[in-house]
Every structure is written in structure tokens, then in C-alpha cells.
């Protein structure tokens, strides 16, 4: 009996250690990433930072499409087939390279159309074409990261994310010091696209023995299983990715790059709060099964809703401090980002309540609801932007986002308050 208890304690201790590695890694990596954004936004100014944000959004969406949901499905599949991990890794690397080359080809040939559509000039065509080649390296990196996660090498997993963001920060600092300001926008963009190569080079040096493995085989079964599993993840994550970038795309088209800059600064600052939400979700997920064995779903929802008062207090404090936060971090040039941030923060603090409740979709095997919700929100967000942006510019885009998040949140809350579930 004592041996069983010791074993159980060790398992819990190992899980906690892994959790702390991932969370601390994410905090450090995102902290460096946020510092990089501060340097770039202050250096470029609102107008050029808006252009940078939109070009980066085009690249990020392309990378997401080339991923096809594999980064998540790969972790699940490999963790269940660890003895075949090398063959699986080889199979997915080959397919990701082929898929990324296909996406690069598409982006390369539509670059002029994208530049003309968003900026009314062909000036950014070659820039988009050049950064499109970086999709290949990001595709490979995403599989490597997923492989470490699947094998529960969380220290390496966290370190790679930190290194990637550190190289971006270091490159950005060097650009600000060594090059003329007129070149900064393009060089910053190249840094975000290609800095991942430095991490891959370090990996090649450290894991040469893995690369020299001679009996690697392409297994069609691994390919089918992982891509089949990743398809629904891809649909859901793609909708989320587009929703997160749709605001700046429509702002650029319907307003100006300066408004995109104001909005992007506010959004980057507000994105700190999903880190709190992710920590809550990570903590609650393992305890959900145990809670529902002796309590109803309605009680779980009410227990989360009982914390609303604390969230409201936190929201009020942030709303009051918002003008000082924006001016201190980003400078007076981004004064127009203050109201945008104050609007957006309502949605993100609301997520602290809604996201833990949405975990019930996974518990009840109804994750498809989240995919449906994401795709329903996409046209609604488009219509909201179409209505609000002409009247309120960046604040209108923020207002559309907040209203949409609140509507989706209330749907989730009401759905589970009325849900009947037998323990």
C-alpha cells in the first residue's frame, strides 16, 4: 500500500514539474515576445506598425494552413505509439514539406493580388513572396516542437520556444542599432519569418544522431491517421486564426494603416490575459472528471460564475490604469490605442470565466460544438466590422470583437446550465 502511495505521489509530482516547465517556459517566451513587440511598435510608429502587423498576419495564416492541425494531432498519435516515433516523425516531416511547398507556391503567385488588395500598391509583392519561403522552416519546426511534447520532453519543448523568441528579440535589437530606420519594417518582418532557422540549426547540431538514422520509412498509415485526426482541429484553429486577424485586415481595407497600428498594439497588450486563462484551463482540466463524479454540470458552472465578482474588480482596475499602461509601454503616439484596449479587455477578462466552462465540451465529447461556434463567429465578425469600422475605426473593430465574444460566451453558459447529464 505504501509503495502505491509513493508511486501516486511521484506521478503527481512529475505532472506538476512538467506543468511548471511548460507554464514557466510560456511565460518567459511570451514575455520576450511582448518585449519585442514593444520595441518594434515604438520604432516603427503607428502607421508602419499597422503595415507590419498585416503582413505578419498574412504570413501567420499561411503557416497555420500549412500546419493543417498536425501539431496537435501529432502529439496525441505519437504519445500512443512511442515505439514508432522515428518513422512517424519522418513520415510527417516529408508530408509537411510537400504541403508547405504547395502553400508557398500559392502565396508566391497571389502575392501581387494581396499587396494590391490590402495596400492599393504592388510595393509589398516581393516582400510577401520572399517571406513565403519561410513557411517551409516553420512547418518543420512545428513538427519538431510537437515531437518533444509527445515524448514528454517538456524542458526541451519550453527551451525551444524561449530560444525562438530570444533570437527574434536579439535580431530586432540589432536591426534598430545597425540599419537605417527606413529599412526597419522589412527587416523586422524577415526576422519574424526566418529567425526559426537559427533554432533549427542548433537542433541539427545537437541531434545529428537522430538525423543519421538510416532505416526510416514513410508509412502511409501514420500519414492517414494523423491527418484524419488533425482535420477537425485544422478547421477550428483556422477559424480562430482568421477571426483574430480579420479585424486588422478589414481595418486596413476600410480605414488606414495607422488605425491597424492602434488596434494591433491594443490587441498585443490584451493578449497577455489568455496566459491567465490558459493557466486556469490547464489547472482545471485534470480536476474536472473528479468534480463531476460527485457534482452536477450546473453546479460546476455556478462554481465558476461565483468568481465573476473578482473578474469584475480586476477589469475595473485595468480599465482605470489603461491610459497609464499604454503611454508608459508604447509611448504617447499610441494614445488612440487606449480606448481600443479598454474595449478589448472586456472580451479577454470575460474569457477567464467562459473558457473554464467550455472545457465541458471536451468532457462530454462535444468538441465539435467549438468548431461550429468558431465558424459561426467568422461571418458575424465580418458583418460586425462592416457595420462598426466606418463609424468608430479601430474602436469599432474592437467593439465587434467584444460583442461577438460575449454572445458566444453567453451561449456556452446557457447551454450548460440547461444541459442534462447523468454522472
| Structural domains of the chain, count | 2
> Does the structure show a pLDDT above 70 at 20?
no
Domain that holds residue 46: 2-254
pLDDT at 286 over 60: no
Residues 15 and 108 in one domain: yes
Residue 9 has pLDDT above 50, yes or no: no
* Per-residue model confidence as pLDDT tens digits over 177-206: 999 989 999 999 999 999 999 988 888 877
Last residue of a domain, one of 223, 254, 285: 254
Q: Is residue 217 part of a domain?
A: yes
Any domain includes 36:
yes
Beta-carbon contacts of residue 216 (< 8 Å; ≥ 6 apart): 86, 87, 90
- pLDDT greater at residue 111 or residue 368: 111
269 shares its domain with 230: no
Question: Is 219 in the same domain as 360?
Answer: no
Listed in sequence order, the residues at least 6 apart from 331 whose beta carbon sits closer than 8 Å to its beta carbon are 42
* Of 170 and 26, more confident: 170
- Residues 330-345 pLDDT 10s: 988 999 999 999 999 9
pLDDT for the residue 302: 85
277 in the same domain as 250: no
43 burial (CB, 10 Å; 0-12 / 13-18 / 19+) is: middle
pLDDT range class, residue 212, cuts 50, 70, 90: low
Mean per-residue pLDDT over the chain, rounded: 82
In a domain, 422, yes or no: no
Looking at residue 3, its pLDDT comes to: 47
**Same domain? 243 vs 289:** no
Residue 423 belongs to some domain of the structure: no
Task: Round to whole Å and give the CA distance between 373 and 367.
Answer: 10
- Residue 221: pLDDT above 80? no
Distance CA 66, CA 135 (A): 8
Which of the pair, 107 or 13, is modelled with greater confidence? 107
Q: Are residues 249 and 324 in the same domain?
A: no
Whether 140 contacts 133, CB under 8 Å: no
Amino acid at each position: 500500500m505504501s509503495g502505491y502511495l509513493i508511486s501516486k505521489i511521484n506521478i503527481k509530482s512529475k505532472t506538476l514539474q512538467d506543468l511548471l516547465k511548460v507554464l514557466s517556459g510560456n511565460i518567459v517566451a511570451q514575455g520576450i515576445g511582448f518585449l519585442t513587440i514593444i520595441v518594434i511598435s515604438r520604432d516603427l510608429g503607428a502607421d508602419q506598425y499597422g503595415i507590419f502587423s498585416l503582413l505578419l498576419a498574412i504570413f501567420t495564416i499561411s503557416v497555420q494552413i500549412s500546419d493543417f492541425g498536425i501539431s496537435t494531432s501529432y502529439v496525441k498519435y505519437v504519445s500512443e505509439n512511442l515505439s514508432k516515433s522515428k518513422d512517424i516523425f519522418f513520415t510527417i516531416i516529408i508530408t509537411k514539406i510537400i504541403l508547405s511547398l504547395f502553400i508557398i507556391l500559392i502565396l508566391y503567385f497571389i502575392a501581387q493580388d494581396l499587396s494590391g488588395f490590402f495596400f492599393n500598391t504592388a510595393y509589398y509583392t516581393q516582400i510577401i513572396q520572399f517571406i513565403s519561403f519561410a513557411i517551409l522552416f516553420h512547418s518543420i519546426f512545428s513538427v519538431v516542437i510537437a515531437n518533444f511534447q509527445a515524448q514528454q520532453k517538456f524542458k526541451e519543448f519550453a527551451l525551444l520556444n524561449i530560444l525562438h523568441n530570444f533570437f527574434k528579440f536579439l535580431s530586432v535589437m540589432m536591426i534598430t542599432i545597425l540599419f537605417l530606420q527606413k529599412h526597419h519594417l522589412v527587416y523586422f518582418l524577415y526576422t519574424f519569418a526566418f529567425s526559426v532557422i537559427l533554432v533549427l540549426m542548433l537542433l541539427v547540431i545537437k541531434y545529428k544522431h537522430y538525423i543519421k538514422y538510416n532505416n526510416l520509412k514513410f508509412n502511409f498509415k501514420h500519414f492517414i491517421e494523423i491527418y484524419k485526426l488533425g482535420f477537425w482541429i485544422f478547421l477550428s484553429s483556422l477559424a480562430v486564426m482568421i477571426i483574430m486577424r480579420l479585424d486588422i485586415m478589414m481595418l486596413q481595407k476600410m480605414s488606414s494603416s495607422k488605425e491597424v497600428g492602434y488596434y494591433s498594439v491594443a490587441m498585443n497588450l490584451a493578449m497577455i490575459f489568455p496566459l491567465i486563462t490558459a493557466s486556469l484551463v490547464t489547472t482545471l482540466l485534470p480536476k474536472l472528471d473528479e468534480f463531476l463524479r460527485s457534482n452536477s454540470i450546473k453546479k460546476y458552472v455556478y462554481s465558476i460564475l461565483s468568481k465573476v465578482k473578482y473578474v469584475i474588480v480586476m477589469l475595473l482596475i485595468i480599465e482605470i490604469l489603461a491610459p497609464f499602461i499604454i503611454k508608459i509601454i508604447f509611448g504617447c503616439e499610441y494614445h488612440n490605442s487606449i480606448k481600443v484596449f479598454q474595449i478589448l479587455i472586456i472580451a479577454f477578462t470575460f474569457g477567464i470565466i467562459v473558457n473554464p466552462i467550455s472545457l465541458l465540451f471536451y468532457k462530454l465529447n462535444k468538441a465539435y460544438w467549438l468548431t461550429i461556434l468558431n465558424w459561426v463567429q467568422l461571418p458575424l465578425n465580418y458583418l460586425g466590422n462592416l457595420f462598426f469600422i466606418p463609424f468608430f475605426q479601430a474602436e469599432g473593430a474592437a467593439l465587434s470583437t467584444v460583442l461577438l465574444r460575449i454572445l458566444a460566451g453567453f451561449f456556452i453558459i446557457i447551454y450548460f446550465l440547461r444541459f442534462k447529464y447523468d454522472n
